[in-house]
Structure 1
Amino acid sequence: MSSLKLVNFSFLLCYAIFYSKAYTTSKNIINQLDNLLNFYPGWKNLNDLIAVKYYHKRHYLNSLIKTPTSKYKCESKIRVLTVFLECTYTKVINNIFSIIITWLQINETQNKEYNDLINGCIYTEVIKNIMAILIVPIAKLMKGALEALDLLHHLPWATTTKMYQHKKPYIMCLLLERIENILDELNDPILSCDDRSKNSSEIEIEILFDFFVSIRKDLQKETDTLCEFVTYNTNYLWNEYVQEYRAIINQGVNLLFFKFLTKKIEVYIKTEIIEKYFELGFKFDPITEETFIPTPEETLELELEFKAIDEELPNPIQI
């Protein structure tokens, strides 16, 4: 009996020693990560954050970029960079949703005041189109970038979240899933404005408003302890757009505000995709519709496409 206990103890000891052995990252992964940070200028231009907190320690992006990656610290560097990317993308989504929430609040007040069903339907259809052709694609690219970076780790979060329920999945994974669900809900024929039902229009506006507000609250809850943002006014884009619109109108130009605002959101999203996706070195595969990180050998091949980014986005992401 004692010999059996000794065997079991020996087995457990060997198991513990084997699994406690430090994992060292391969040279290929290290080169791929360093190439991503040093070849692509977008990382040096990320200025939305002061620092991020990971395991109660503050990390600075410039330090991560300048410090050559060692095989013993590569894994933690991947984790911290992923957090930086999550925080960066969170601010982008917050900016977009802040504009739409303010827009919905103003339009709802105006439509109630004038009992304007037609305008209510127009605004909800415009916002649904913005979500379908702008917000869903950028969320898809963000999710892909996070997953591609995470896959450099030998224990990706996307895998470990299935093994360990206490680990939370990516913010953008949840966001994309909720966006897709809300579009399905809003495309319900019962809520169609075709029947000119005042009730259906109000329900759609309420659903949209609650959706955007809840997403922003969840983002804030998830990033409060992780992200140290540079201080900024959350309504700065809205205020900037309103001032620009008034200047145009004052020149005698006849321009509908919702058309002007739709174009401004489109330009903003295109700019963010360029600066915070392509210029960070992420590549979109039109066949698999997945994001990947190029190896150092593939970098030269991507150089011509990289220079053309400012002119046009790749065809698979229609914006």
Structure 2
Amino acid sequence: MALILNIQMYFCIFFIIFHAEGKYNTKKNVIIMKYFLRYPGWKNINDVEYIKYWNHEYKFEDVFDKPITSDNCDNFIRYATIFLGCSYANDLTIMFFSLINFQKHCTMLLNSGNSLDSAYNCTVELLAKTIDIVPLAKLMKSALDSIENYHNFPWTNQKQFRYILCEVLTYLQKTGPLIELVPLIINSDAIDAALLIIKRFLLVRREELERDKIHCQLKSTDLISMWHLWNNEFDTLKTQGKYQEFFMFLNDKISSLVQTTYQKKYVDLGFIFDSNTNRTFLPIPTVNLAQNHKNQSINLVKQTNDVDVMEVIKQQDFSQNPSINLVKQNNEVDVVEEMLQEYMAQYSSIDLIQNNNEVNYLDEMLQEYIAKYSSINSNSITMT
């Protein structure tokens, strides 16, 4: 009986803590949140129909048109986190769709047998573009964390609970399987293997994203129509004599998506980036309450036209991973065998993702990879 009472007591404490939002945040935080939520960038959060939180549905205008006070500040912090996270989810959905179709195009080029160089160049661009999303993922997670840090019970401190986009943004930054593909060999089997690994990476990230969208009701985005528009635009450019490979066209489109998301939903929201710690901070209003912040020695990088935070992050990643130099492999014919051994050693247990629905798929991908490469040796690799 005592054990049951203790369990009930702990459950009550747990329930009270998680329903304690809006219980008297500080006046300083109220002013900061008012200032932050007045930034014009919030007008760009127009791709979210409503959010779902504690079995209630909240529309943007129903939430942000209300005054913020000490007793409801925590609620506004949570709403802001979820609305922005859902908007990020919509952008990631478009990016994953584009990259997956990019991968299909590279696979088509490889299977057509017309030009190994085109398939190679397509795969290299796809690999680089997939890795290029990492800086944006870091900024997205850091931005959401910076909002939550003003909550009395921030989600960032509750490690046993996954909050919005936490899973997909965390695993997007774990690009080890992709980094190991660099530099890529100009060989049909190696290119095929790289495309399979990129496909696996993207599909698993997309599944994580779907699980992370439980709080979101997004406005309808017709991805198929968008893809048709891109194809029509590409055809129009060809008729105008502006010809380029389709994968370069896709590369430009995805770069534009990434840059637009960064500008509208990071820069225009006033987020401040610390290049020393890779942390994001909310903008602080220049009023008396912020007097204590004047003498801070933190190297805060304001987003201006001459500072590209994503480029800063990318260069930091390059310094940590100097092998991310997408150049052709010279004469190292053992790379495919080494890649196979590393892949098998690292992923045979498939313990990175513990969702049952994904295990069978990952196992099939692994078996397909092993079957394709178990017979490859250095003598069978032909260099171009």
Structure 1 unmatched ranges of 5 or more: 1-11
Structure 2 match to 1:106? 105
Q: Residue 316 of structure 1 aligns to a residue in which SS?
A: helix
Structure 1 match to 2:333? none
8 A Cα contact 2:45 2:83, kept in partner: no
8 A Cα contact 1:98 1:235, kept in partner: no
Alignment counterpart, residue 176 of structure 2, candidates 177, 184, 192: 184
Q: Residue 80 of structure 1 aligns to a residue in which SS?
A: helix
1:268 deviates by 1.9
1:94 deviates by 0.9
Structure 2 match to 1:296? 285
Provide the C-alpha distance between the structure 2 equivalents of 1:92 and 1:28, rounded to a whole number of angstroms: 32
In the alignment, does 2:146 pair up with 1:148? yes
Structure 2 match to 1:130? 129
Structure 2 match to 1:158? 156
Q: How many residues align?
A: 288
Structure 2 match to 1:313? 308
Provide the C-alpha distance between the structure 1 equivalents of 2:245 and 2:118, rounded to a whole number of angstroms: 12
1:318 deviates by 5.5
Structure 2 match to 1:193? 184
Q: Residue 57 of structure 2 aligns to a residue in which SS?
A: strand
8 A Cα contact 2:45 2:84, kept in partner: no
Report Cα offsets for 1:248-271 as digits up to 9, x if no partner: 111122322222221222122111
Provide the C-alpha distance between the structure 1 equivalents of 2:205 and 2:94, rounded to a whole number of angstroms: 12
8 A Cα contact 2:110 2:188, kept in partner: no
Counterparts of 1:26-65 in structure 2, within 5 Å, are: 26-38=26-38, 40-65=39-64
Structure 2 match to 1:168? 162
Provide the C-alpha distance between the structure 2 equivalents of 1:264 and 1:178, rounded to a whole number of angstroms: 24
In the alignment, does 2:95 pair up with 1:96? yes
8 A Cα contact 1:95 1:237, kept in partner: no
Q: Residue 193 of structure 1 aligns to a residue in which SS?
A: coil
Q: Residue 91 of structure 1 aligns to a residue in which SS?
A: helix
Structure 2 match to 1:271? 260
Structure 1 match to 2:70? 71
Structure 2 unmatched ranges of 5 or more: 1-8, 295-301, 316-384
Q: Residue 286 of structure 2 aligns to a residue in which SS?
A: helix
Provide the C-alpha distance between the structure 1 equivalents of 2:271 and 2:99, rounded to a whole number of angstroms: 28
Counterparts of 1:225-240 in structure 2, within 5 Å, are: 225-240=214-229
Provide the C-alpha distance between the structure 2 equivalents of 1:118 and 1:269, rounded to a whole number of angstroms: 27
1:169 deviates by 4.1
- Distance 1:313-1:192 versus aligned 2 partners, 3 A rule: closer
Alignment counterpart, residue 222 of structure 1, candidates 195, 209, 212: 212
Q: Residue 277 of structure 1 aligns to a residue in which SS?
A: helix
- Distance 1:218-1:179 versus aligned 2 partners, 3 A rule: closer
1:144 deviates by 0.8
1:63 deviates by 2.6
Q: Determine which structure has the larger helix proportion and give its number.
A: 1
Farther off after superposition, 71-80 or 52-61: 71-80
What TM-score comes out, normalization by structure 2 length? 0.68
Provide the C-alpha distance between the structure 2 equivalents of 1:192 and 1:69, rounded to a whole number of angstroms: 53
Q: Residue 312 of structure 2 aligns to a residue in which SS?
A: coil
Provide the C-alpha distance between the structure 1 equivalents of 2:225 and 2:270, rounded to a whole number of angstroms: 28
What TM-score comes out, normalization by structure 1 length? 0.81
